[in-house]
Amino acid sequence: ERVYGVSQWGGGYFRIGEKGNVEVTPVPEDTSISIDFKAVIDEIREEGVQFPVVVRFHDVLRSQVASLNTIFRTTITEAGYNGQYQGVYPVKVNQMREVVEEIVEAGAPFNYGLEAGSKAELLTVLAMNTNEDSLTILNGYKDDEFMRLALLGRKLGRKIVVVVEKYSELLLLVKIAKELNIDPIIGVRAKMTVKGRGKWESSGGERAKFGLTITEIIKTARYLEEQGMAHCLKLLHFHIGSQLTDIRAVKEAMTEGARIYADLHKMGFPLDYVDVGGGLGIDYDGSNSTNESSRNYSMQEYVADVVYGMKEMCDLEDVPHPTLVSESGRAITAHHSCVVTEIVGEIKSNSASIDTEVKDGEHFFVKNMRELAETLDQQDNMQEVYNDASQYKEQALDAFKLRVLTLEELAKIETLYWHIMSHLHAYYANEEYVPEELQELDYSLSSQYLCNFSVFQSAADTWAIDQLLPVVPLTRMNERPEVNCSLVDITCDSDGKIDQFTVGREITDVLPMHKLKKDDPYYVGLFLTGAYQDVMGDMHNLFGRLNEVHIYSYDDDPQDFYIEEVVKGSSVEDVLSIMQYNPKAMASDMKRMIDRQISNGTFNPREAVRWNDFYENCLSGYTYLKP
Ligand code: PLP
């Protein structure tokens, strides 16, 4: 726990069990319900599902939906707020059908709705959000078809709100609504002057991509009035960025948003809803701070600031309390899924060594390095040892390029160099002061654990925006982790790595892990991948979507679980077809080429059949390694 900080980032959903395995507690209020991750892995293996695997804990998803809604309800009651809460889940955060279905089902008692930001998402939410009492909020840029689909939803009796992002959309919507004679529900998105804090702060401010300026909002209201449609203007929306790290941004946004709402009301436009967008952050690094991968508040505090912030302003301005809407996606989905992968190898810069015995006629560079290595115990200035060794190594490389040193001599120098570095590393492990260059030894002597997955498919944000995601071994947590390592994936891309972790309270470039044992697979989990990571990945190197298992706990046995569904990941054929190949034609071309080799004796007919079958099996197989 001190190393991996599971309870700090786990949101109450994960803990380290007595057997040293990670356990999932899908209902944080009732920790007697727990699922042993090792048992999940065993069952996945028994079912013959190949790793890497996305494991979805559907009970966690349900718990998050219930938490957000319940917290809003209790806070509203405590605050004496006269309006209600009617949240929506923005499907872009994870559009997987099973995820959306689960959220809709878990949200039904709260009339929890959906948000869409594109035409494809709109088609999805029209089919999925069938509850007439819940909201469907439509953000994003819109065209003629988009507007017609929204109005179709109105005809079906749905509470569909078209949020105007730019003024020309309003003119289009009014035109089509009149043509079809359907009253739309209209929202306006305000371009806020307050900016969020963190990686997504450009969603706010005057240069924000979306939203109307105050002048445009007033123009919108007046235009609707002219058109006899002022009654259609029902919602004010703002969103100042995802993953707000600092609660002050939430408070500032509430003040600004509530003021706009109140003044619109006083101008004769009594809106029913104020939609505060997303932004509720996740504590990925467990620091509960304003670090980029963290946030300095809880869900309770966020909700309290939204509810009390709105109440205070409305009371001051003497306007009614509107129904509050929020569009939290990250907070709903992040915890429920994690990527489980197996470590399939170790890469170490100093692992190989060759015999460094004295040889007649060897170059004096080798002799110098050997002398240094053999007298380490007599040296009292370790910084000097480091400087000398580094200089000898650099000179040796130059000499090799100039054909002065042989390949074998260079290898001897390299072996001796890493021997010296290991000694220095051990020496400084017990010292309080470590010179700056030597601090890098931690990293350069660390291992790289090779993980059977693709960063670009499963953890895109770690590559794209340095997002930190917790990485944790799923077993052996009762053993001391002795190997410092970073993780590398199996893509042919040197960016395919994870070298940012939280260890205790620090952000480091290596993570302590356990020594690999022969015949004992070592599984690690990449946690909090349910928001965005699950759906934003790409097929770099043709590594496709992962196999998925959906886990539910049993109502009558708090220690048990079942795999409700296995969703097969992409096969090689699938990814090739997306790239416009024709796998069937490829297989028959290969067959022709292999069969041609029978006549010249390279294969006998039986061998040719086997090679053909092998090629076809690989085509229909998984894109990841079979360890
Ligand atoms: N609503 C809008 C308009 C967004 O752009 C986003 C994401 O940036 C969200 C909601 C979801 O935000 P979050 O995942 O931070 O809850």
Contacts (Cβ under 8 Å, ≥6 apart) of 458: 52, 54, 339, 526, 529, 533, 537, 546
User: Is there a domain that residue 358 lies in?
Assistant: no
Q: Are residues 197 and 315 in the same domain?
A: yes
Residue pair 153/185 in contact (Cβ under 8 Å)? The answer is: no
Q: What SS3 class is residue 201?
A: helix
Question: Is residue 249 within a helix (H) or strand (E), and if so which, with residue range?
Answer: helix 247-266
CA distance 458 to 537: 6
Whole-number Å distance, alpha carbon 206 to ligand 1 midpoint, is 18
Q: Are residues 583 and 554 in the same domain?
A: no
Whether ligand 1 lies within 6 angstroms of the CB of 278 is answered as yes
Phi, psi dihedral angles at 517 (to 5 degrees): -115, 145
User: Is there a domain that residue 197 lies in?
Assistant: yes
Residue after which a domain boundary falls, among 280, 310, 332: 332
Mean pLDDT calculated for residue range 554-581: 94
**215 burial via Cβ count (<10 Å: 0-12, 13-18, 19+):** exposed
Where does the pLDDT of residue 429 fall: very low under 50, low under 70, confident under 90, or very high at 90 and above?
confident
Q: Are residues 171 and 280 in the same domain?
A: yes
Q: Are residues 89 and 49 in the same domain?
A: no
Whether ligand 1 lies within 6 angstroms of the CB of 93 is answered as yes
Mean pLDDT calculated for residue range 341-369: 89
Whether ligand 1 lies within 6 angstroms of the CB of 10 is answered as no
Q: Are residues 551 and 417 in the same domain?
A: no
Whole-number Å distance, alpha carbon 409 to ligand 1 midpoint, is 59
Q: Are residues 382 and 324 in the same domain?
A: no
Mean pLDDT calculated for residue range 67-78: 98
Can you give the pLDDT at residue 440? Answer: 85
Mean pLDDT calculated for residue range 485-489: 96
Of residues 211 and 580, the one with the higher pLDDT is 580
CA distance 546 to 598: 38
Q: What SS3 class is residue 308?
A: helix
ipTM of the complex model:
0.99
Whole-number Å distance, alpha carbon 288 to ligand 1 midpoint, is 21
Q: Is the pLDDT of residue 209 over 80?
A: no
Phi, psi dihedral angles at 175 (to 5 degrees): -60, -50
CA distance 531 to 200: 15
Which two structure tokens, joined as six digits, stand for 509? 């470039």
Q: Is the pLDDT of residue 65 over 90?
A: yes
Can you give the pLDDT at residue 441? Answer: 87
Residue pair 142/175 in contact (Cβ under 8 Å)? The answer is: no
Which structural domain range is residue 580 located in? 573-620
Number of domains forming the structure of the chain: 4
pTM of the model: 0.93
Give the distance, in angstroms, between the CA of residue 535 and the centroid of all CA atoms in the same chain. 9
Q: Are residues 466 and 583 in the same domain?
A: no
Rounded to 10 deg, the angle between the 144-155 and 167-180 helix axes is: 50
CA distance 47 to 325: 42
Q: What angle do CA 288, 26, 28 make, to 5 degrees?
A: 55
- In tens, the pLDDT along 435-461 reads 888 888 888 889 999 999 999 999 999
Region label for 153, one of left (φ > 0), alpha (ψ between -120 and 50) or beta (otherwise): alpha
Q: Is the pLDDT of residue 206 over 70?
A: no
Whole-number Å distance, alpha carbon 241 to ligand 1 midpoint, is 7
Question: pLDDT exceeding 70 applies to what percent of the chain?
Answer: 98
Q: Are residues 259 and 195 in the same domain?
A: yes
Q: Indicate if the alpha-carbon torsion angle 202, 11, 530, 514 is positive or negative.
A: positive
DSSP per-residue codes, 390-420: HHHHHHHHHHHHTTSS-HHHHHHHHHHHHHH
- Ligand 1 atom, smallest distance to 281 CA: 15
**556 burial via Cβ count (<10 Å: 0-12, 13-18, 19+):** exposed
- Ligand 1 atom, smallest distance to 331 CA: 16
CATH number of the domain enclosing 267:
3.20.20.10
Residue after which a domain boundary falls, among 403, 430, 457: 430
Where does the pLDDT of residue 210 fall: very low under 50, low under 70, confident under 90, or very high at 90 and above?
confident
Which two structure tokens, joined as six digits, stand for 30? 């009732």
Q: Are residues 595 and 451 in the same domain?
A: no
Q: Are residues 92 and 191 in the same domain?
A: yes
